[in-house]
Amino acid sequence: MLTGLLLLHPQKLQQPKEEPLQVFFKKRFTRIGLPLIFWTAIFFIWVHIAHNIPLTPEVIIQGTLNGAYTQFWYIYALIGLYLVTLFCEQS
């Protein structure tokens, strides 16, 4: 919740920074998106090795659309907060 507060209402805790949305999302992608992609790939490989589930494009697409692993719930929530931030910044 603190992350959402800082993203959606930064003026309450600090001086607001005026940065373009491209810069905002680029910074967040390098912090959140790249680790999510890396660890999702690691988990797909682990499931393939440990459970003998084939790594077909269908399995990868289905796993990605369903949210690959519940351990990443916080990262998915952060992505949602970033998208909400986009709509709050535009209005």
pLDDT in tens, 32-76: 888 888 988 888 898 889 989 888 889 888 887 776 567 778 888
The pLDDT of residue 49: 92
Q: Looking at the domain assignment, is residue 2 inside a domain?
A: no
Give the number of domains in the chain.
1
Residue 63 lies in a domain: yes
Residue 79 has pLDDT above 60, yes or no: yes
The full DSSP string for the chain is: -HHHHHHH-GGGTSPPP---HHHHHHHHIIIIIHHHHHHHHHHHHHHHHHH-----HHHHHHHHHT-S-GGGHHHHHHHHHHHHHHHHHH-
Q: Which domain holds residue 57?
A: 22-90
11 occurs within a structural domain:
no
Residue 53 lies in a domain: yes
Give the separation between CA 7 and CA 86, rounded to whole angstroms: 10
pLDDT of residue 89: 57
Residue-level pLDDT at 3: 61
Say if CB 82 and CB 50 are below 8 A apart: no
Instruction: Examine residue 64 and state whether it is found in any structural domain, yes or no.
Output: yes
Judge whether 3 lies within some domain: no
Q: Does residue 9 fall inside a structural domain?
A: no
